[in-house]
Structure 1
Amino acid sequence: MHLPIVLSPIVTFVFPFLLALFLLPIQAAAVSVDARHWELNADKLTRLEDPPTLIAEGNVVLEKKEPVDGASASSHPAKEGRPEASAPDSAAAAGRPATNLKTATTIKADRASYDLTRGILTLKGKLLIDIGPDQLTADAGTIDLEKNTGSFDNATVVRQDKQLHFEGKLIEKTGSLTYHIEDGWVVTCKLEPGQVPPWSFAAADVDLTDGGYAVLTHTTFRIKDIPVLYSPIMVLPAKRKRQTGMLFPSFSLSDRDGFGLETPFFIDISPSADLTLYPRYLANRGLMAGAEFRYVLDDNSKGMLMGNFLADRLSDPSEVDYYRDGQFTHTNSDRYWIRGKADQDIGSWTTRLDLDVASDLDYLREFNVGSTGFDVTQEKFTGVFGRGFNDKTNQFRENTFSALRSWDYGGSLLAEASAINDISEQIYTADNPSRAWTLPSLTYSGLVPIAFLGGGPDFQWDANYSNFWRDKGVGGQRFDLMPMITTGIPLSPYLEANVTGGIRNTSYLIDDNGASEWQDKDTENRFLSHLEGEVGTTLMRDFSVNFGEANTLSHTVRPFVSYVHTSIPDRDPLPQFDEVDDLEEENAVYLGFNNFFSLAGTRNGRDFDRDFGFFKVKQGYDLRSEKSNTPLTPLIVETGLYPTERMRLKYTTNVDFYGDGAFLHSVEADCFTSRGDRFSLDYRFNELEDVNSVRGSLWYLLPYNLAAGYSLERAIEQDETIEEIVRLRFIQPCWSVELSANSTPGDQTFMITFRLANIGNPLGFGVPGL
């Protein structure tokens, strides 16, 4: 029997699904699908009797309603054997409270056919299913409304919150938000309709789970539909929050290491902690293990720990070319680097932890490329904690722990411990020891006004206890007490003056630990007096300028004269642990002339001011008799310029007037632009310490979505390039690819790195962009 029901082609009527069920015979209406909260709109609706089928044509819209905030599905139970036949409004009319509903799922198509007996919905033409976080489009498909499953031809799934885009010839909906895809591909960025993906993972089979993974088998990574890489299996983050899974690999080719492959694996431990594993295969060396653990509790409590280990096949005495070409000196085959930092507030205490342990000095310059190399590590930790590690050429790797507590009255207690990882491979003896460890050091400091003297003078103090330990060589305990009084002197309204004076007593309990020089000495003491003062004046003047948005240039001039006197009556030799033990007598007058410049103006209707530059000059005259022939101290000149808020230039020089001339030069330059260009230069020259080196880097955005980078570190005195890196990156809105070349003595490494949106950038701090 065929009963057509034709609706007006001009006006589209809302036809509740439940009404169609109500008109059917009882045996046909008794289906297992809960259709009470599905509503159907269409231009034309037809009901067939055999088999019981509802056909909708033209602008078909099917919406599923669900209770809001846990409201019951119906305030009145359904009759036995069939769904409730009344509309929501009829419930209110009968005196029952109406249920609050929201649209959970929307289905659109040109034509829909619903089998009322089996609960199967067949859709054709411009099919769209909106399930909130997911959108599915297809040419045609079938849906089991009871099981919430379906099958779709030439379909696409877009997971909106991560812009995940899945497409396949056949997509099976296996659950509420889970899918199985055959002969498809995935891309993790937004695409316009009909747009060819800039990159994609094509796979023979994909399983997409909600709260889980997108597991791809027989996968090829493609750029503009061109296969580039193949993997038998790959796991991508498809969850609507971060999750455990593989990150995108990187590849390298090195003269020394051979082919290299790094395949990071991210583990989501908790919302505030994660772990990333960095297995890295180097054909000529073996498998390097790497890991990075991170946690964030709040802005003041966070930590990061990284470690790498390699049983190095190249670190063998038989590898003569390896040692000669690279100028290496290490003999160990177990290579590692463990580093980490943590900032933690514990009650009233502020704590800091720094770890830096390496197997050898060569490791830090050998393994400098990749996501766990020295440069990337330094940049990552500096960005997160505001402090990095000692330079990779420094043999002393510092491991420290400190805890600080302050009180309102002006006192503070600092507890510290430091362990030095000396990786110089030098053989130390009791008479030629390495640097001492401090286990521990306690410093109690404070500054309080002396109220009974009218509030002018301040009493300050530093009291320190340190225990120094060495495996070989002199150790001991040191007690250092330094009380001081500081006060200002009102000479005139135009002169500023202050004086600081005090005494300092340093006592030692000595443990010779085999050192021949200290075998007959158990204690030592040093007493000194210290006095310093300064008289200066400050002059200021504003000048009208036209410098961009600035209209005022302020110039501050501060000339000053200072005096420093340190007297040490008994100058017996002391154990040498740090700079405190190396204090010398001083009796000198210094003359200085400081200039500071700042700009002020209006920007976007708001006043602003910023530093523009400075110029400082200082020189002393030594009054001690033994310096009568060379009384002038080196002239110190410092100047800095900030032409823009994104540019910093600084130059420092020291000039000796008795033969050495300008023996120290230091140049620092940094510049960056709003679009992302960066430039930095660091030049150091110190003739007295035999230092002459330059380090520079450049990153510049080019036309056609290209960016180029160059960095150089060179020892000029030795005429040797320590490291040279060239990078070229092609940047797209949701992906980039970078080719880099790294050159070090005896090795040339090429690396290709892909950066994909939403892949390889798990949530957390220190995440780089494309």
Structure 2
Amino acid sequence: MNPDKSPLVISALVLALISSVLLPSSIRAADVISAEEWQITADRIIRYAAPPCVIAEGNVILEKVQTITRQGKTPGKTDWSSLLGESPPATLTGSALPRTEKATVTTIRADWLAYDMDLGTVKARGDLLIRIGPDQLTANQGVINLKRETGIFNNATIIRQDKELHLAGRVIEKTGALTYHIEDGWIITCRLKDGQTPPWSFAAVDATIEDNGYAVLKHATFRIKGVPVLYTPYMVLPAKRRRQTGFLFPRASQSSRDGFGLELPFFVNLSPSSDLTFYPYYMAERGLMNGLEFRYVLNQESKGEFMANFLDDARSDPNDPDNAEYYRDGNYTHTNENRYWLRGKLDQDLAQWTTRLDLDLVSDRDYLTEFTSGITGFNSTNDRFLEVFGRGFQNRSDDQRKNTFRVLRSWDNGISFQGELLGINDVREDTPAPTPLWKLPAFSLTGLTPVRDTSINLTWNADYVNYWREEGVGAQRIDLFPRLSMPVPLNRYLETTVELGLRNTSYLIREYGGITWVRDDFQNRFLFEFSAGTGTTMVRDFPVRIGGIHTLSHTVRPYVSYGYIPDVDQENLPQFDTVDSIGEKNLITYGLDNYVRIAGTSDGRSYQRQYGYLKLSQGYDLRSSESDTPLTPLGLKLGYRPLGDLNLLYKSDLDMYGDGFIMHGLEGSYRDSRGDTVAVDYRYKKLENINSITFKTRLNLFNHVSAGYSIERSLEDSKTVEENAMLIYQPACWSVELASNYTPGNQKFTLMFRLANIGSPLGLGW
């Protein structure tokens, strides 16, 4: 789970003092009195009989010593909470014999201390320090009720070292086992050096830490370096760092399109492995957008996350004159008031079966391009799911959103099975027939088996799919494709293989939505495929002395391949995917691959890595009698990695008959030792009218200041798709970010605070 949703923890200081000390009625210098559980030392100790009490002065140290029995077992595996960013209890394993030892569990220090045995109270003053393990309380003076485990302390501070929690107040009253009352105090959840001014804090005139784990603040202010910047007469905060139900910090915004907005997330802790978060988001020009997120994590292989947003949009009438600019600038076309986005992913292992669910349902084609920023926007959602599940969502401009459920299973004998259900969320306006194809269901069985003791391998695919659509032609299709492959030992320098495959595809045609299929309902196609390839690999190492590089290895691989598929009549077949239209092929492909690797030392460590590669390939169509352009475009791939963190990749296709370059692609990324990053992605496809560039950078400037910038621009029509800029100040324990987001028809500025261990950001915008 996301640790950003883990509010504060404030624990009690348990001061159970059991005393059976019998002291003489005399004064002694530097006395030491021992008891079964407590040891008191001081410069002077006095005992009074009526009423029975003890007074200690000067360097008073009161230590509670207990006999602890340890089981002698070693920590084993922890539960799933380690995945949730929590502190899980260890599962003990082993069988070592238990052992006993004495340990100091509580220490009280003061300049002066008085213990009333009848009342069970301790009064202390002068540099009072109470330490329990890594936690401590300091105060000028205090009164402790040992029977009720309560106390009141003046000018006090509570520090939870393991939780990095500081709680301070003019008066801190411990009213119960887990309850406090604080006057003129402040809270911060990060470590401070002695005398350090808190970089940020929540201050309150009056605060109550309740036993249900909430802090109620009255006349509260949020402070930066002790300077108040925000005020609220009343605030409720979760008072535990462990995940807990409660409101997260609100997010306010102002945009040229949506007007003033306020988002108030509410977090619900369902169990240690699951939670809910509500995201009500009010926009003055749009209405109330409701959001919901559900998450669970059992282990790394079994987890799920689902999110939903719904908006009754007040700006869904294109005939309203007030919306004319909105539709024109954003190039929007939707007319539906009920707008939503339901998405989610699930990874679940069941025995030896692996399941994957991908859900992506949206109300209209404009939603994802319009709502890109924010906690539940497309950008944040896509990045989150990509990080957690390793897969994100389709491009936000895609009109046909795929929803899939897959099951997978592999066996040791080389056989694999996959089952799939595919549904399409079609958000095109006035969807034309035929409508998109669904798979209800699809099964695929693949395998690779050696043929006895020979070098021949049998590879096979057996696929079944039931194609359904709301309107149009569907079918049940079975595709069987076994292949035999083997190496051919022409000589010791050439690596040669041949492959022969037989393919049979059968169809049972179905009609949907009144569409008529005029041919026979049963269709069958049979064809064979033949391929062969040969190549050789040449490698040479060159000793060099460039920087820390000592060896350069160059690999050259020329190759030639041939593929043949006969011309088979497929006119009567339905067209669903590439399996249904396998064209005639009689093609020779030739190419040259070059790889360069380097080896060297850096900082006393040896390393090897790829330095670069160049790949050239082209084909020649032997059906030249039917074509006057037998040469395919010349393909080029160039990879370059001069530094370990600098990667460049260039791809292009050059037409051989006068059209020039019909495709360009450039990808580059760099990251230095300071964490500065730069990335660029350029795409040009002449036949598809694509010409776009994406650029991103993040730079660490100075004194905890960093800046970021990103732009996605369509060069084809000279339009900016999205542009973001941000300036971040991030010292220890907190950060503040000033961000700008531009999409067509909307400009938005946001000021956002992030606080250590305080969950979601505190956002303000204008």
Give the TM-score normalised by structure 2: 0.88
Secondary structure of 2:326 counterpart: helix
Say yes or no: does 1:372 pair with 2:373: no
Say yes or no: does 1:323 pair with 2:323: no
Contact residue 248 and residue 755 of structure 1 kept, 8 A: no
| Aligned residue in 1 for 2:355 | 351
Separation in 1, partners of 2:435, 2:545? 58
Q: 1:681-706 CA distances to partner (integer Å, 9 max, x unpaired)? A: 11111110111111111111111211
The CA deviation at 1:389 is: 0.8
Separation in 2, partners of 1:564, 1:757? 61
Contact residue 25 and residue 49 of structure 2 kept, 8 A: no
| Aligned residue in 2 for 1:488 | 487
Does the C-alpha gap of structure 1 residues 70 and 246 become closer, same or farther in structure 2, counting only changes over 3 Å? farther
Separation in 1, partners of 2:247, 2:662? 53
- The higher relative CO (CA closer than 8 Å, separation ≥ 6) is in 2
| Aligned residue in 1 for 2:660 | 661
Say yes or no: does 1:314 pair with 2:335: no
Contact residue 246 and residue 266 of structure 2 kept, 8 A: yes
The CA deviation at 1:210 is: 6.9
Contact residue 281 and residue 288 of structure 2 kept, 8 A: yes
Instruction: Specify the structure having the higher radius of gyration (Cα).
Output: 1
Say yes or no: does 1:390 pair with 2:394: yes
Which stretch of structure 1 is more off in the superposition, 701-710 or 312-321?
A: 312-321
| Aligned positions of 1:583-598 closer than 5 A | 583-598=582-597
The CA deviation at 1:100 is: 5.7
| Aligned residue in 1 for 2:623 | 624
| Aligned residue in 1 for 2:76 | none
Separation in 2, partners of 1:438, 1:507? 16
Secondary structure of 2:472 counterpart: coil
Q: 1:287-346 CA distances to partner (integer Å, 9 max, x unpaired)? A: 222222222222222222122222222223322222122211111122211111122211
Contact residue 519 and residue 572 of structure 2 kept, 8 A: no
The CA deviation at 1:608 is: 2.6
Contact residue 570 and residue 581 of structure 2 kept, 8 A: no
Q: 1:488-521 CA distances to partner (integer Å, 9 max, x unpaired)? A: 1111111101111111111111112246562444
Say yes or no: does 1:558 pair with 2:557: yes
Q: Root-mean-square deviation (CA), in Å?
A: 2.3
| Aligned residue in 2 for 1:89 | none
| Aligned residue in 1 for 2:52 | 52
Q: 1:141-168 CA distances to partner (integer Å, 9 max, x unpaired)? A: 1100111100011111112222111111
The CA deviation at 1:740 is: 0.6
| Aligned residue in 2 for 1:264 | 265
Separation in 2, partners of 1:737, 1:573? 65
Does the C-alpha gap of structure 1 residues 235 and 125 become closer, same or farther in structure 2, counting only changes over 3 Å? same
> Aligned pair count?
709
Separation in 2, partners of 1:699, 1:171? 44
Separation in 1, partners of 2:542, 2:238? 59
Q: 1:170-202 CA distances to partner (integer Å, 9 max, x unpaired)? A: 101123454221221111111112211111111
| Aligned residue in 2 for 1:691 | 690
Q: Which amino acid aligns with 2:660?
A: G
Separation in 1, partners of 2:400, 2:382? 16
| Aligned positions of 1:524-563 closer than 5 A | 524-563=523-562
Secondary structure of 1:583 counterpart: coil
Q: 1:369-427 CA distances to partner (integer Å, 9 max, x unpaired)? A: 11222111111111122211111111121111111111222111111111111122233
The CA deviation at 1:59 is: 1.1
| Aligned residue in 2 for 1:212 | 213
| Aligned positions of 1:88-167 closer than 5 A | 101-132=102-133, 134-167=135-168
Does the C-alpha gap of structure 1 residues 69 and 330 become closer, same or farther in structure 2, counting only changes over 3 Å? farther
Contact residue 254 and residue 748 of structure 1 kept, 8 A: yes
Say yes or no: does 1:15 pair with 2:33: yes
| Aligned positions of 1:358-507 closer than 5 A | 358-428=362-432, 432-451=433-452, 454-507=453-506
Contact residue 177 and residue 210 of structure 1 kept, 8 A: yes
Contact residue 684 and residue 692 of structure 1 kept, 8 A: yes
Separation in 2, partners of 1:130, 1:211? 25
Q: 1:699-735 CA distances to partner (integer Å, 9 max, x unpaired)? A: 1111121111111011111111111111111101111
Separation in 1, partners of 2:100, 2:108? 22
Q: Which amino acid aligns with 1:63?
A: E
Does the C-alpha gap of structure 1 residues 549 and 209 become closer, same or farther in structure 2, counting only changes over 3 Å? farther
Say yes or no: does 1:287 pair with 2:288: yes
Give the TM-score normalised by structure 1: 0.88
The CA deviation at 1:47 is: 2.6
Contact residue 250 and residue 751 of structure 1 kept, 8 A: no
Q: Which runs of 5+ in 2 are unaligned?
A: 1-22, 72-98, 762-766
Separation in 1, partners of 2:27, 2:422? 87
Which stretch of structure 1 is more off in the superposition, 257-266 or 342-351?
A: 257-266
Contact residue 214 and residue 238 of structure 2 kept, 8 A: yes
The CA deviation at 1:240 is: 5.2
Q: 1:61-90 CA distances to partner (integer Å, 9 max, x unpaired)? A: 11234452499xxxxxxxxxxxxxxxxxxx
Q: Which runs of 5+ in 1 are unaligned?
A: 19-35, 72-97, 763-770
Secondary structure of 1:580 counterpart: helix
Separation in 2, partners of 1:184, 1:277? 31
Contact residue 292 and residue 304 of structure 1 kept, 8 A: yes
Separation in 2, partners of 1:634, 1:423? 36
Separation in 1, partners of 2:234, 2:492? 79
Does the C-alpha gap of structure 1 residues 599 and 63 become closer, same or farther in structure 2, counting only changes over 3 Å? same
Q: 1:464-490 CA distances to partner (integer Å, 9 max, x unpaired)? A: 000011111111111111111111111
| Aligned residue in 2 for 1:702 | 701
Query: Percent identity over the alignment?
Result: 52
Separation in 1, partners of 2:175, 2:132? 14
Does the C-alpha gap of structure 1 residues 577 and 725 become closer, same or farther in structure 2, counting only changes over 3 Å? same
